[in-house]
């Protein structure tokens, strides 16, 4: 068989491609601290499971292609608490935020067109675009600028006749950056000037620290006709396995086309939508409590990194990721070595190499992403292991 050029052009996930090495390490009796993937260990709210237990249906039927009306109403109400107002037809439920992003790109772009994305970016943006023959054009951000956006002229010089949209995540994955109101205003102004759509990946919204606030694209009324917001229960409600996301836009033409894509895949899991409806009804105290927990985990990482010679990092302001530059020539080789050759007291760590989070692979060659998704004590232990591992690796 000759696989399609389309699928061959896709990269393997740098977050998951080292899994065979981690499985082999576990077979050798080594405990692996998984810092490579955004899978929190915070318990999923009990309301999710209670709603499913109380589900009274005797037949698990297809749900509407656009989503369960109760869930759509719950999300609409959730946004209204932030003074962001959607009609119910402005919301379509998807199989996770991933499908929402894929649908948005398919509906906005034709084959051969491109989207601007600040890099480093969530590596699956490359996967979503390659699937549909669309290309990422990077807006390079730098660690010394805490991964904030460059000046307007640096962004607009990337725009060409095939550019259709700007895609960004806020708070950022993998950088932990929280864009300011002025930065989002800048993107809105560029989008208006160059007739572009804006796709805002807000799955980490409200997960911010140190007084920072993640401002939703939905608050910028002058770009409502070109704004697309991506939502998910995965991170904010620690419900990654539910695979419930949504796409929000006031652009009626766009949403009519997205609904066609939703109809082509029939529907999203009925039972998981029932549970997700209960999640969106949770009050603000839940989000505040997990935000405090993630701050403790972040601070444990930062305290550990401060003890390691030769590493460089910036303090992340949101989400639950930190990019670290290591004193190694090839971070991917180091990440593999951690699983294949290293252990200390029968323990090791699994990190995500960052090279594939960039278009220019040289930019991330020495960097890793640390996901602080485990408790603070486990994060402290992981940083101790990282220190020992680096000493052994650089002296081998």
Q: pLDDT tens for residues 22-38?
A: 999 999 999 999 999 99
What per-residue confidence (pLDDT) applies to 57? 83
What per-residue confidence (pLDDT) applies to 318? 98
What per-residue confidence (pLDDT) applies to 271? 97
What per-residue confidence (pLDDT) applies to 1? 87
46-282: which CATH topology?
Answer: 3.40.640
Mean pLDDT across the stretch 319-325?
A: 98
What per-residue confidence (pLDDT) applies to 130? 86
Q: Is 340 helix (H, G, I), strand (E, B) or coil?
A: helix
Across the chain, mean pLDDT equals 96
Model confidence band, residue 240 (pLDDT cutoffs 50, 70, 90) = very high
> CA-to-CA distance for 100 and 106, rounded, in angstroms?
10
Does position 375 have pLDDT exceeding 80, yes or no? yes
State the sign of the Cα–Cα–Cα–Cα dihedral 323, 325, 328, 329. Answer: positive
pLDDT above 90 covers a percentage of the chain that reads 91
pLDDT in tens, 243-256: 999 999 999 999 99
pLDDT in tens, 147-193: 999 999 999 999 999 999 999 999 999 999 999 999 999 999 999 99
What per-residue confidence (pLDDT) applies to 25? 97
- Work out whether strand 114-119 and strand 31-34 pair parallel, antiparallel, or are unpaired: unpaired
Contact call for residues 116 and 199 (beta carbons, < 8 A): no
What per-residue confidence (pLDDT) applies to 321? 98
Do domains 5-43+285-395 and 46-282 share one topology? The answer is: no
Model confidence band, residue 14 (pLDDT cutoffs 50, 70, 90) = low
Does position 210 have pLDDT exceeding 90, yes or no? yes
Mean pLDDT across the stretch 300-317?
A: 98
* DSSP tag of 344: B
Q: Is 354 helix (H, G, I), strand (E, B) or coil?
A: coil
Which CATH number is 5-43+285-395's, of 1.10.3720.10, 3.30.70.1450, 3.40.50.300, 3.90.1150.10?
A: 3.90.1150.10
> CA-to-CA distance for 222 and 227, rounded, in angstroms?
10
Q: Is 386 helix (H, G, I), strand (E, B) or coil?
A: helix
Mean pLDDT across the stretch 329-350?
A: 97
* Token pair recorded at residue 24: 């082999």
Residue 39: half-sphere exposure toward Cβ, Cα within 13 Å: 13
Q: How many residues does the chain have?
A: 396
Does position 206 have pLDDT exceeding 80, yes or no? yes
Least confident of 51-55, 283-287, 350-354, 386-390: 283-287
What per-residue confidence (pLDDT) applies to 209? 97
Residue 390 pairs in a beta bridge with none
Domain residue limits, the chain: 5-43+285-395, 46-282
Phi-psi map region of 335: left, alpha, beta (phi>0 left; psi -120 to 50 alpha): alpha
CB-based burial, 283-320: b 16+ in 10 Å, e otherwise: eeeeeeebbebbbebbbbbbebbeebeebebbebbbbb
* Token pair recorded at residue 264: 């082509």
What per-residue confidence (pLDDT) applies to 147? 98
Contact call for residues 314 and 145 (beta carbons, < 8 A): no
What per-residue confidence (pLDDT) applies to 15? 64
> CA-to-CA distance for 96 and 44, rounded, in angstroms?
16
pLDDT in tens, 95-150: 999 999 999 999 999 999 999 999 999 999 998 898 889 999 999 999 999 999 99
pTM of the model: 0.95
Q: Where are the beta strands (DSSP E) in the chain?
A: 31-34, 91-95, 114-119, 135-140, 163-169, 197-201, 227-232, 244-248, 312-313, 321-325, 347-350, 352-353, 367-371
CB-based burial, 29-59: b 16+ in 10 Å, e otherwise: ebebbbbbbbebebebbebbeebeeeeeeee
């Amino acid at each position: 068989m000759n696989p399609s050029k389309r699928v061959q052009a896709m990269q393997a996930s740098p977050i998951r491609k080292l899994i065979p090495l981690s499985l082999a390490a576990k077979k050798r009796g080594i405990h692996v601290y998984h810092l490579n993937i955004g899978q929190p260990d915070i318990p999923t709210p009990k309301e999710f499971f209670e709603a499913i237990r109380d589900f009274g249906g005797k037949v698990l039927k297809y749900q509407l292609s656009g989503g369960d009306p109760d869930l759509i109403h719950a999300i609409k109400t959730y946004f209204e608490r932030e003074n962001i107002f959607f009609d119910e037809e402005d919301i379509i439920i998807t199989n996770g935020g991933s499908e929402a992003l894929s649908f948005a790109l398919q509906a906005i772009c034709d084959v051969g067109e491109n989207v601007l994305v600040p890099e480093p970016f969530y590596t699956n943006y490359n996967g979503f675009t390659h699937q549909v023959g669309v290309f990422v054009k990077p807006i390079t951000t730098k660690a010394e600028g805490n991964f904030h956006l460059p000046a307007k002229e640096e962004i607009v010089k990337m725009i060409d006749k095939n550019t259709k949209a700007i895609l960004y995540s806020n708070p950022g994955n993998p950088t932990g950056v929280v864009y300011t109101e002025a930065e989002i205003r800048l993107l809105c102004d560029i989008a208006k000037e160059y007739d572009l759509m804006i796709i805002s990946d807000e799955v980490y919204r409200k997960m911010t620290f140190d007084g920072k606030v993640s401002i939703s694209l939905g608050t910028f009324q002058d770009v409502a006709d070109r704004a697309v917001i991506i939502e998910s229960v995965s991170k904010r409600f620690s419900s990654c396995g539910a695979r419930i996301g949504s796409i929000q836009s006031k652009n009626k033409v766009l949403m009519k086309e997205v609904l066609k894509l939703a109809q082509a895949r029939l529907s999203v899991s009925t039972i998981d939508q029932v549970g997700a409806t209960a999640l969106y009804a949770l009050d603000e105290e839940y989000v505040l409590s997990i935000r405090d927990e993630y701050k403790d985990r972040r601070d444990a990482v930062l305290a550990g990194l401060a003890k390691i010679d030769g590493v460089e990092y910036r303090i992340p302001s949101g989400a639950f990721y930190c990019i670290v530059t290591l004193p190694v020539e090839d971070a991917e080789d180091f990440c593999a070595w951690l699983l294949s050759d290293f252990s200390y007291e029968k323990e090791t760590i699994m990190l995500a190499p960052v090279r594939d989070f960039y278009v220019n692979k040289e930019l991330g060659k020495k960097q890793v992403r640390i996901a602080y998704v485990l408790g603070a004590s486990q994060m402290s232990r992981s940083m101790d292991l990282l220190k020992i591992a680096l000493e052994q690796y650089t002296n081998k």
